[in-house]
Amino acid sequence: MVKRLTDYIKKQGGIFAKGGIDVMFFAFLMLIVVVGLVMLYSASYVYAYYKYEDSSYFFVKQLRNTLIGFVLMLVFSKLNYKLFTDIGAIGGTLLSWMLLMLALIMPAHNGTHRHIYIGGFQFQPSDVAKFALILTLAAILSKYHNVIVSKKPLQAPLAQRLNSTLGRPFFNDSLKIIVPCFGIIGIYCVLVLAGSHLSGTILMLSIGLILMFLGEVRGKWFVGGGAAAAAVLFIASQTNLLKDYMEERITSWLDKDFDPLGARWQINQALYAIGSGGLFGKGLGQSTLKHLYVSEPQNDMIFSIVVEELGLVGAALIIVIFALLIWRGVVIGVNCPDRYGALVAMGVVFQVGVQVILNILVATDSVPNTGISLPFFSYGGTAIIVLLAQMGFVLSISRSSRIRR
């Protein structure tokens, strides 16, 4: 048993990763983490004082979680990521499914089942699930890469009949992997959606599709997968719970005068904040819209306060740093000697990218309001811990990446 384990470790290249981390990626990351913390404090202190009579309520908790995440990041960056290929896929999936189901049976909070509460702490399993999905798909797509790119016709009777009708091997062996993958993505999505977490579902689906795409799944299967996903979303949207919720969000997006003191209050205030920022902003700490106008400014709408205080220039700089982080993550992934590492690295940074883009689109009223947090900026314990752990993975991968320095 022990022998097998040591053999496995030896085969994967040892417990610890060798080589140095990518300093540029680390630098971008640290820059974002620090700016994110500063902005969280600036955006949240008024609300924190109003709600808890403690200006640093959110900041202190976020700082604590950031430190926990930082430790995790260091640990993961030191470990050989390949060790997690199987454990990450099987263990991560089972764990996150269990946690998601646990959240479902927990008492509802604000009408949703997104969190698990353990002795005063709250925990959002979908944050873990996102990572688990990346690890799972990366493991499958790298392990069965040859099947995915295989052009061998599928031997199933129905496929054979269809292929002969079409006159070419349209249904090939890759489906053996692709269909289960879509199935896994589907289960993740359904579990998150069941907790009334539409934004989480959209993210889960985006991550899944991006990884499938990066895993060289042929474009034609995305049509099928996309159609299936759309069907699932449509059916889900017809359930009463989601219907009202979505309807209001879409109505309030289309009709800018809709319920200004209710549904559109937060987004209107976010727009006022962004508009008030101008080119250079009012200066750090100088936001007036955070004075209980923008509701929960520490959360999804934090970016509006960032624009108000730092202006278009500051906001653009932050977006550029995010872009650089993603670019650097992609470079690490592309230069990673193994497909698993490449997929994990790119999956993680693209996940960050999708979240940043969706968050900004929401804050700027460009898409209907869905609650997507801004990575490293928005308040949220599970999110920051898992994000930093993910960054640890990328750093670990960067150690073996063959970037020309």
Partner 1 sequence: MAKTKNEMKSSSLTARRGVILMVLIAALAFGGCIVRIAYLTLVKGESYREKAEAQQLSVTTLEAARGTIYDCNMNVLAQSASVWMVYINPSKVTDDNRNDVLTVLCENLHLDRAELTEKIAAHAESNYLKIKGEVEYAEKTALVDAIYANKLTNVIFIDGDTKRYYPNGSLASTILGFTGTDGNGLYGLEYLYDEVLTGTNGRTVTAKDGVQFELENAYEVTYDAEQGVSLQLTIDSEIQTILEEALANALEETQAKNVYGIVMNTKTGALLAVANLPDYDPNDPYGVLYESLTAYFEENGTETEKADPVAAARIEQWKNKSIADFYYPGSVYKVFLVSGAYEEGVINDNTQYTCYGTITVGERHIKDFYTTGHGLETPCTLLVNSCNTFAVHVGQMMGAELYFKYFQAFGFSERTNVDLSGESSPAVGITYHDPDVSFTYSDLASASFGQSIAVTPLQIVTAVSAIGNGGKLMQPYVVEREIDFQGNTVSVTEPVVKRQVISERTASTVAGWMEKVVSDGTGKNAYVAGYRVAGKTGTSEKLGSSDTAYIGSFAGFAPANDPEISIVIIIDEPRGANYSGGVIAAPVAGEVIERTLQYLGVEPTYTENDISTMTIAAPALTGLPLAEAQEKLNGYDYTVRIVGDGETVVAQCPESGRYTPVNGVIVLYTQQNLEKEQTDVPDFTGLTVYQANKLAVNSSLNIRISGSGADESSVVAYKQDVEAGAVVESGSIVTVSFRTTSGVHD
Q: Rank residues 6 and 366 by Cβ distance to partner 1 and give the closer one.
A: 366
Is residue 231 a contact residue for partner 1 (CB under 8 A)? no
- Tokens matching residue 302: 């934090």
Is residue 274 a contact residue for partner 1 (CB under 8 A)? yes
Interface residue with partner 1, options 69, 125, 225, 333 (CB under 8 A): 333
* Shortest CB 136 distance to partner 1, Å: 19
Is residue 348 a contact residue for partner 1 (CB under 8 A)? no
Is residue 361 a contact residue for partner 1 (CB under 8 A)? yes
Contact of 153 with 163, CB cutoff 8 Å: yes
Q: Rank residues 74 and 316 by Cβ distance to partner 1 and give the closer one.
A: 316
SS (H, E, C) 304-322: HHHHHHHHHHHHHHHHHHH
Cα–Cα distance, 221 to 230 (Å, whole number):
14
Is residue 330 a contact residue for partner 1 (CB under 8 A)? yes
Contact of 29 with 74, CB cutoff 8 Å: no
Site string for partner 1, 86-125 (x = CB under 8 A): ----------------------------------------
Is residue 374 a contact residue for partner 1 (CB under 8 A)? no
Q: Rank residues 191 and 332 by Cβ distance to partner 1 and give the closer one.
A: 332
Task: Give the C-alpha distances (Å, rounded to integers) separating 341 from 66, 141, 152, 398.
Answer: 24, 11, 27, 9
Stated as kind and residue range, the H or E segment containing 122 is strand 121-123
CA angle (27 as vertex; 26, 32 as ends), nearest 5: 100
* Shortest CB 379 distance to partner 1, Å: 19
Is residue 74 a contact residue for partner 1 (CB under 8 A)? no
Q: How many CB atoms lie within 10 A of CB 250?
A: 14
Is residue 364 a contact residue for partner 1 (CB under 8 A)? yes
- Residues 291-310 binding partner 1 (CB under 8 A) are 291-294, 307
DSSP assignment letter at 117: E
The piece of 53-61, 112-120, 188-196, 266-274 that touches partner 1 (CB under 8 A) is 266-274
Q: How many CB atoms lie within 10 A of CB 233?
A: 18
DSSP bridge pairs for 79: 16
- Residues 132-161 binding partner 1 (CB under 8 A) are 145, 149
Interface residue with partner 1, options 57, 188, 322, 379 (CB under 8 A): 322
Where residue 278 falls (left for φ over 0; alpha for ψ -120 to 50; beta otherwise) is left
Contact of 40 with 379, CB cutoff 8 Å: yes
Task: Give the C-alpha distances (Å, rounded to integers) separating 390 from 73, 148, 306, 393.
Answer: 7, 26, 25, 5
Is residue 311 a contact residue for partner 1 (CB under 8 A)? yes
**Binding stretches for partner 1 (CB under 8 A):** 46, 50, 145, 149, 210, 213-214, 216, 261, 269, 271-279, 288-289, 291-294, 307, 311-312, 315-316, 319-320, 322-323, 326-327, 330, 333-334, 337-339, 342, 346, 350, 353, 356-357, 360-361, 364, 366
